[in-house]
Structure 1
Amino acid sequence: MAEDAGRTIEALMRAGAEGATALDAPGGTPLSFGALRALMRRIVQDLNAHGVGRGDRVAIVLDNGPAMAAAFIAIAAGATSAPLNPTYRAEEFEFYLTDLKARVLVTAEGSTSPAIAVAEKLGVPVVRLRETPEHGAGSFTLRFPAPAAPAAQGGPAEPGDVALVLHTSGTTSRPKIVPLTQCNVCASARNIRTALAFGPQDRGLNIMPLFHIHGLIAGILAPLSAGGSVACTPGFNALKFFAWMDEVGPTWYTAVPTMHQAILARAGRNREIIARHPLRFLRSSSSSMPPQVLRELEAVFDAPLIEAYGMTEAAHQMASNPLPPRARKAGSVGLAAGPDIQVVDEAGNPLPAGETGEIVIRGDNVMAGYENNPKANAEAFTPQGYFRTGDQGVMDEEGYLAITGRLKEIINRGGEKISPREVDEILMDHPSVAQVVTFAVPHDKLGEEVGAAVVLRDGQHVDDKELRAFVAERAAAFKVPSRIMILDEIPKGATGKLQRIGLARKLGLA
């Protein structure tokens, strides 16, 4: 496929052969690329006929699965997809639907989501999606509540149109709107496709939520843009993962580290399935993968684990470890994979290899700016036009990037700066520890001190005193957690990520 042809989602989806499978689902009937393209044309025409055209925001509240994947693609082909987490409460839907200025809400026929009552209160028309799985996984029709004047700007979207609108996670402030153009999302899909050498023979098993940039771009758009297929599950379920793997026969999957760890815990009793369906690679992104877990996953699956670095403002991927035979470096998120990446000092000057600073990026996958937020944009971009990621990192002589922490997450203990990841990696070396997250705990004299939450491996018993002594043997005294909580499960965000900011409050330590 010519690279210049892939600057809109409609053009990106021309890659697959007419009869080749595009979308599938465990227990489902495959949807061909020809059928997906026909669905896209029909949905754009339906939207246009009911007043929804280029640039209009379509809020999507659907459960994970092939219909969510197809709805995202088909709507974004001619309007702006705005997927929302279906588990939000009414007040959250009210904030997001208002903030987005949603033109319509698309939700499943028969759904009782609180989003429906909120949309009706706000005067946002509710469009019902009816799945037609007999025509292929992801196939659907839309039922509009009332006639409307045709859209002012109809037809397929153009490269500069906004394809996808998401909000930042807003852990420390009001969520900001991230508008990603057709060009942004297609550039990111192309970068991922190139990094992972996707082709028509590849078959993904998507377990990522499809209201999240990781699932939408890496899980769906990138493989489809190479003519590969994706089997869409109802969402992550560690108990069903290996049954799905046996049925679907994937060549790869992508996940966040907590999902990989849950899969790893059940991998031992599913070795026959793993042997029957050898993976070309596993991919991990959205938060740091402990090197110990990476090594275990590679050993169990007998496949490389490709750790990548992404964020919403960059339409997901920024850096990626390369495929074999090139080197993968545990603890590194790899090489620049599309955008230009620099590590800079506080004044924005590039730092030499080996020196720690802020990671900044620039490229055609990076948003032009947050919507209606001049203050955030003034802070988010350097005078040279680079986007400040808010991550602290270091680049080695070969260009491999390692993230040392979020600048907001660095713990300041009486002036001593501590990277939570450093403490994570020490605790992960303890043979009894399965999962750990280190975080700041407020302290009346020091400002902050170090806390950690730990999940133990099955059948292991160890107390916080022993774990603190273990860290004390390997780190300076000021880095040793003052408190280690041993939990059955660490609270996670909506996308399965462990979140350091606010964890002390969630655990009753603040």
Structure 2
Amino acid sequence: MSATLSDLIAFHRNDALAIGAPDRPWLTYAGLRDLVEHTVHALHAAGIGHGDRVAIVLPNGPEMAAAFVAIAEGAVTAPMNPAHRLDEFEFYLADLGAKAVVLADGYDGPALTAATRLGLAVLRLGHDAADPAGSFTLRAETVAPGEPDRATARPRDIALILHTSGTTSRPKIVPLRHGNIAASAHHIAQSLALTPHDRCLNVMPLFHIHGLVGALSASLAAGASVWCAPGFDALRFFGWLEAARPTWYTAVPAMHQAILSRARHNAEILERVPLRFLRSSSASLPAQMMRALADTFRAPVIEAYGMTEAAHQMTANPLPPGAQRPGSVGVAAGPAVRIASETGNWLVEGPGEVVISGPNVMPGYEGNEAANDAAFFEAEGLRWFRTGDQGQLDGDGYLTLTGRLKEIINRGGEKISPLEVDGVLMDHPAVAQVVTFALPHPKLGEEVAAAVVLREGMAADEAAIRAFCAERLADFKVPRRVVLLDEIPKGATGKLQRIGLAEKLGLADPV
């Protein structure tokens, strides 16, 4: 059934808790619905209406969560990373055609400078710490010209615009309809069996699809509550766990690893706050980490597979009594999931490119006909989207990913899956975290390299780690370089990034 973001919150009990935060009273569903109504009026007063694009540049927390839901009812939201620099803000604001930007009261950073240069309306968001979490007022510092379209959201309207990461080329614009987000939110809520008794501790950035849909929208679709931390901090995580008393949390693997490293110091909190499950998404979770999390929290770990173009979730490991299979991203959990030829527009059995079709899939990249021609094809009466991931379905429908097609290492014609090498390295007793990546090579084109973080109090050198791999991998897959680091560089959302890592570590000249 097609729906809008406001439909997700329309029918829950008035006094049910919706949004919480540290040291703040709870915002109820009735309060959230009132906030949506007041926000739409404030947008209209600022000259902003249906179809207008509003960039939201706010710190992580309850106001960012509520602003996304509320602004989407009257306009198109474009949440942005507040850590962007001036040139990034200028590019993204211009590229998406923003008409206004929402900034916190008192903010005078680069987003304001960029908005002023581009002539955008500036809307100021204020809140009182004594008010319920997420409550805010919106006032126009500068007003957009013209009379706004006062229509409210419909399922086929665009609710959210995000840019792809743009690791190796110009980032693409992903428009997601209300219906896409609502469908994905319901898919996630169903796969996790969420009820109004559940509570999510959100540590994911709310400018990223994982936080916006995987944590926030899925919780709201189920009439559950979401407690918004001000970002991710492994040192504060267990204190938040005790304060929020959630039934689950969702994070990327790098965050889970940081949480595991602090877990033994917080055993009493883990006893007092049992979780129903943990969720991991946005990057492959090493099988070893999945088992460690399950043992530490004594709860099932639900690894899910998602991407922005699918409004987040595509597959998920099922809850018990279904099997959570370490190393697999689970079974279809929303859209149809198949395997396609990597070179032709047809579906295949066996390994190939993962493709999806369903109500959560974006209509297409904006203003990029070439990308859409490459990404979509028709087969068996459905429109399929190419994910760019290589994988294989087993007889039970569980999907195993072997890597991003653009991340597969081509060593003189021999293809190496970085995930396979990661899995072997994670079996080394001294290895806590690893990212295998391509190292440019003058004759072979690419060579295998790995960045490794060692476990606290343990030692290993490059030769020992390479010898460990040589006993378990074919020679051409063994990393020729192993770089030992205190921390592996991460992207803005906490994900470890393979592409460009050689340059970041000073191992290759930038292309």
TM range (shorter): over 0.9
- Mapping 1:414-429, distance limit 5 Å: 414-429=412-427
Q: Does 1:290 align with 2:280?
A: no
Q: Does 1:359 align with 2:357?
A: no
- Mapping 1:267-278, distance limit 5 Å: 267-278=263-274
- Corresponding letter in the other structure for 2:335: P
Q: Does 1:90 align with 2:86?
A: yes
Residue 146 of structure 1 and its aligned partner are, at CA, apart by 4.1
Secondary structure of the corresponding residue to residue 468 of structure 2 = helix
- Corresponding letter in the other structure for 1:297: L
> Is contact 1:29–1:137 with CA below 8 Å preserved after alignment?
yes
Q: C-alpha deviations, 1:291-340, integer Å up to 9, x for none?
A: 00100100010000000000000000001111001111111111111101
- Mapping 1:54-69, distance limit 5 Å: 54-69=50-65
| Stretches of structure 2 lacking an aligned partner (at least 5 in a row) | none
Give the RMSD, CA atoms, in angstroms.
1.1
Q: Does 1:459 align with 2:443?
A: no
Could you tell me which of 421, 445, 448 is aligned with 2:446? 448
In structure 2, distance between residues paired with 1:166 and 1:87: 16
Residue 148 of structure 1 and its aligned partner are, at CA, apart by 5.3
Residue 14 of structure 1 and its aligned partner are, at CA, apart by 1.4
Between stretches 47-56 and 217-226, larger displacement belongs to 47-56
* Aligned residue in 2 for 1:371: 366
In structure 2, distance between residues paired with 1:270 and 1:57: 44
> Is contact 1:188–1:338 with CA below 8 Å preserved after alignment?
yes
* Aligned residue in 2 for 1:102: 98
> Is contact 2:123–2:142 with CA below 8 Å preserved after alignment?
no
Residue 151 of structure 1 and its aligned partner are, at CA, apart by 4.4
- Corresponding letter in the other structure for 1:306: I
> Is contact 1:50–1:151 with CA below 8 Å preserved after alignment?
no
Between stretches 41-50 and 166-175, larger displacement belongs to 41-50
In structure 1, distance between residues paired with 2:98 and 2:89: 11
| Stretches of structure 1 lacking an aligned partner (at least 5 in a row) | none
Residue 55 of structure 1 and its aligned partner are, at CA, apart by 1.3
* Aligned residue in 1 for 2:243: 247
In structure 2, distance between residues paired with 1:209 and 1:324: 28
- Corresponding letter in the other structure for 1:207: V
> Is contact 2:316–2:332 with CA below 8 Å preserved after alignment?
yes
TM-score (norm 2): 0.97
In structure 1, distance between residues paired with 2:45 and 2:107: 24
Cα 1:143–1:433 change in 2 (3 A) is same
Secondary structure of the corresponding residue to residue 388 of structure 1 = strand
* Aligned residue in 2 for 1:75: 71
> Is contact 1:49–1:148 with CA below 8 Å preserved after alignment?
no
Residue 149 of structure 1 and its aligned partner are, at CA, apart by 6.1
Q: Does 1:303 align with 2:299?
A: yes
> Is contact 2:409–2:448 with CA below 8 Å preserved after alignment?
yes
- Corresponding letter in the other structure for 1:458: E
Residue 208 of structure 1 and its aligned partner are, at CA, apart by 0.1
* Aligned residue in 2 for 1:504: 502
* Aligned residue in 2 for 1:215: 211
Could you tell me which of 346, 359, 381 is aligned with 2:376? 381
Residue 150 of structure 1 and its aligned partner are, at CA, apart by 6.8
In structure 2, distance between residues paired with 1:99 and 1:58: 13
In structure 2, distance between residues paired with 1:271 and 1:261: 16
* Aligned residue in 2 for 1:142: 138
Q: Does 1:197 align with 2:196?
A: no
Q: C-alpha deviations, 1:167-209, integer Å up to 9, x for none?
A: 0000011001000000011010010011001110001100000
> Is contact 1:49–1:150 with CA below 8 Å preserved after alignment?
no
Between stretches 408-417 and 142-151, larger displacement belongs to 142-151
- Corresponding letter in the other structure for 1:371: E
Q: C-alpha deviations, 1:324-366, integer Å up to 9, x for none?
A: 01111111111111101111112233222xx210001111100
Q: C-alpha deviations, 1:128-147, integer Å up to 9, x for none?
A: 10013323001000110245
Secondary structure of the corresponding residue to residue 97 of structure 1 = helix
* Aligned residue in 2 for 1:235: 231
In structure 2, distance between residues paired with 1:327 and 1:462: 35
* Aligned residue in 2 for 1:323: 319
* Aligned residue in 2 for 1:490: 488
Residue 16 of structure 1 and its aligned partner are, at CA, apart by 2.5
Cα 1:159–1:477 change in 2 (3 A) is same
* Aligned residue in 1 for 2:14: 18
> Is contact 1:50–1:150 with CA below 8 Å preserved after alignment?
no
Secondary structure of the corresponding residue to residue 95 of structure 1 = helix
> Is contact 1:16–1:225 with CA below 8 Å preserved after alignment?
no
In structure 2, distance between residues paired with 1:22 and 1:221: 11
In structure 1, distance between residues paired with 2:333 and 2:11: 21
What percentage of residue pairs aligned between the two structures are identical?
A: 60
TM-score (norm 1): 0.97
In structure 2, distance between residues paired with 1:270 and 1:71: 34
Residue 499 of structure 1 and its aligned partner are, at CA, apart by 0.5
Cα 1:302–1:124 change in 2 (3 A) is same
Q: Does 1:172 align with 2:171?
A: no
In structure 2, distance between residues paired with 1:16 and 1:436: 44
